[in-house]
Structure 1
Amino acid sequence: MSKEVLVLGGTGFVGRNLVVHLLERHGERILIRVADKCPPAMAFLSQEYKRAFDDDRVEFVQCDLTRKSGINKGWTRDGGRWDIVVNLAAETGDGRDEALYEKRCAGLSAMNAERAGEEGPDLYIEMSTAFVYASSFRAPNDEQARTNPITLQGKWKLKGEEVVREVKGLNWCVFRPAIIYGKGDRNSIMPRAVCAATYVGTGERMDFLWDGGIKMSTVWVGDVCRAVSFAVESPETFGGKIYNLADSGDSTQGSINGLLGETFGIDVGFVGRIISNVARIHMDGVVEVANEKHMRPWSELCAKHDISTVLSPYISRELLQAKNVNVDGGKIVEEAGFQYSRERIRREDIVECLEEACEARLFMRIWEGAGGTNEMGGEEEEEEEEKG
């Protein structure tokens, strides 16, 4: 029997990968509608994603899912209700105004969950984020851990989750992924890669605030899509459940920056906690100076290689604070029999992201043949647990 799946926010990072995965996984037994404000033609898709969206099994509807008129346009179909609805729509950019997160995270989730309650799909999947948890260095956060969001996006995704879980009669499932990496990434690991690109050939060391010990749990986008596919195939198993999605690699700021240093052939390090604590007093100014340092050389690189890109080296104040994303993704393995296919982020995964971005004309091949040594500078102190 075929599955008819509605993917909200399907032209984004996870959505484009999910469309590819569902087509490959389910063959002729799937019909997919993607509802998104951004049409495929404006989504900077590489050829793999363009082929998927051109497939006869995929239908695209352009609509604003924060408006009732848009929701009605995206959801309504002649054949009745959707079997599965996957909500990937949200504001995922960093450093946005809080009102925008409220509207495009909590508000959007609430309105679409209400529609799901009326339609009654077999399963409504809400893609949230592990940023809903409190910063924790020592113990990874499992699904029972204390929630105390470390970003504004996390705050409003959590509020959206809460509304979804309260919709009467709705068979829901919530996923809380750690930092997602993989092809199609624009706002996750890629801003750090863009920063690294500006150091190629300069001889300067790329330094970040704090030290290498800050936790940055990761999960491959392919494994996020596989988890969604598991739920699509077994709505009765996943209904009413919250699952973290995180690999076992115990990634840190040091390990990820080290991979970037190895990839681009640059030295990487950290200014340490003493200097970082001084910078904390004037964090807005420090962040502005740091981002300005990278913006000019990045613009010059883009001009040199004749590239017009949405990629940016900008990293928000929220993500430069000493906050740990430390997530235990084992529950879905123990309860649902899911297995992660990538246990940790590797240099090959960074290169895969860069290759896809080059194909989409968003990046340049300046890492190939890059040489140099990498030093991990900075103190390796344990992050204090967040209070409150």
Structure 2
Amino acid sequence: MKILVTGGTGFIGRRLLSHLRPHHQVSVLSRSPNKVYQRLGHDVDAIHSLAELNNLDEFDAVINLAGEPIAEKRWSQAQKERICQSRWQITQALVEKLNAGTHPPKVIISGSAVGYYGRQDENLVDEDTHPHPEFSHQVCARWEELAMAAQDDNTRVCVIRMGLVLGAEGGALKKMLPSYRLGLGGPIGSGQQYMSWIHIEDVINLILFLLEHDECHGAFNATSPNPVTNEQFSRCLAHNLSKPHFLRIPAWSMRLLFGEMAELLLNGQRVMPVRLQEVGFHFRYPSLDKALKETLSVMRAG
């Protein structure tokens, strides 16, 4: 299979490419081809710009993971615009190139996030849950709408609404660890907000699953079937590090530091992967304790 990947040098993209490269011919879209070769190797074809392509007819599949990290910086208006456009522009451009051809890819797998649902308190959330209208929903809803425009008799589209991804190579866990290793980690705000998480290996496996199963299309929640509260997550992480767990980060300090972006951390979603389970996907890391143990062991070995 010949596959075009965006976001291939990122946290998830690098792990995905290590699985794809032995079995498929992979091209990575990147503004920095040198970075592609340095991080992924010279057996990957680096494409500097979609302008180099007349259409996407040469590809069997597209995996679209590109996007400015949503929780890296305070949400100034400029940062909000970067978050939106880094997702929307590339997705729209991919669909335009797909529509320009006569033999388009059979499948597009496009990223999204559980932020699609907005704050949901303790309610169980599935793919049909009505979203709360706020910035995270607006970003994801438009992102998905642009991707789904490619859906027709020739091309199926899957959007994956990812939760907090746990992996040794990067992501939120890597940023949390320094304070927890000092014994200074703790729940945020009330700690009762739900965290929908997933191990990176399950993210990769579900992408491969969606690639191979022609019956799959539409939105899929990419989260473990066992979401936890922020306090449960914090306590489990401290336990696995053999560190104390008695501090608490007040909500007011998060809002002072991060402004509107703090609401991502103070309000959660209890998301269930209903459609993935219906199509028979099996999670390798369904429990948080098992997922953290594996991730931390890889970090120690590295």
- TM-score, with length taken from structure 2: 0.84
Change (3 A) 1:287 1:122: closer
SS in 1 for 2:228: coil
Question: What is the aligned-residue identity percentage?
Answer: 19
SS in 1 for 2:5: strand
Identify the residue that residue 62 of structure 2 maps to in structure 1: 85
Q: Flag as ranges the 4+ runs of structure 1 deviating above 4 A.
A: 38-43
SS in 2 for 1:196: helix
Q: Could you give the per-residue CA deviations for residues 86-145 of structure 1, whole angstroms, max 9, x where no partner exists?
A: 101111242341111121022222222222233311111111111110322332211100
SS in 2 for 1:247: coil
Identify the residue that residue 89 of structure 2 maps to in structure 1: 107
Equivalent positions of 1:269-348 (< 5 A) are 269=246, 271=248, 276=251, 279=252, 284-285=255-256, 317-321=262-266, 323-334=267-278, 336-346=279-289, 347-348=292-293
Q: Aligned Cα RMSD in Å?
A: 3.0
Separation (CA, whole Å) in 1 of partners of 2:265 and 2:34:
32
Q: Could you give the per-residue CA deviations for residues 354-383 of structure 1, whole angstroms, max 9, x where no partner exists?
A: 347xx4xxxxxxxxxxxxxxxxxxxxxxxx
Change (3 A) 1:114 1:147: farther
CA deviation after TM superposition for structure 1 residue 283, in Å = 5.5
Separation (CA, whole Å) in 2 of partners of 1:283 and 1:259:
22
Paired amino acid for 1:285 = L
The answer to whether the 8 Å contact 2:59/2:105 transfers is yes
Identify the residue that residue 54 of structure 1 maps to in structure 2: 41
Structure 1 gap segments, 5+ residues each: 64-69, 289-314, 360-388
The answer to whether the 8 Å contact 1:117/1:168 transfers is no
Equivalent positions of 1:363-378 (< 5 A) are none
Change (3 A) 1:145 1:206: same
Identify the residue that residue 156 of structure 1 maps to in structure 2: 139
Identify the residue that residue 118 of structure 1 maps to in structure 2: 100
Equivalent positions of 1:171-320 (< 5 A) are 171-186=156-171, 188-197=172-181, 199-200=182-183, 205-234=184-213, 236-239=214-217, 241-269=218-246, 271=248, 276=251, 279=252, 284-285=255-256, 317-320=262-265
2:15 counterpart (5, 17, 21): 17
Change (3 A) 1:227 1:168: closer
CA deviation after TM superposition for structure 1 residue 149, in Å = 5.6
1:35 counterpart (19, 29, 33): 29
CA deviation after TM superposition for structure 1 residue 320, in Å = 3.5
Paired amino acid for 1:345 = L
CA deviation after TM superposition for structure 1 residue 316, in Å = 5.0
Separation (CA, whole Å) in 1 of partners of 2:158 and 2:4:
15
The answer to whether the 8 Å contact 2:122/2:194 transfers is no
How many residues align structurally? Answer: 291
CA deviation after TM superposition for structure 1 residue 263, in Å = 3.7
Q: Could you give the per-residue CA deviations for residues 282-302 of structure 1, whole angstroms, max 9, x where no partner exists?
A: 7643559xxxxxxxxxxxxxx
Identify the residue that residue 122 of structure 2 maps to in structure 1: 138
SS in 2 for 1:162: helix
The answer to whether the 8 Å contact 2:168/2:296 transfers is no
Paired amino acid for 1:107 = Q
Larger radius of gyration: 1
Identify the residue that residue 302 of structure 1 maps to in structure 2: none
Change (3 A) 1:195 1:287: farther
Paired amino acid for 1:212 = G
Change (3 A) 1:211 1:349: farther
2:296 counterpart (351, 355, 359): 351
Q: Could you give the per-residue CA deviations for residues 65-101 of structure 1, whole angstroms, max 9, x where no partner exists?
A: xxxxx2223x569x95200001011112423411111
Separation (CA, whole Å) in 2 of partners of 1:223 and 1:105:
23
Change (3 A) 1:54 1:108: closer
Paired amino acid for 2:284 = S
Structure 2 gap segments, 5+ residues each: none
CA deviation after TM superposition for structure 1 residue 344, in Å = 1.9
The answer to whether the 8 Å contact 1:210/1:270 transfers is no
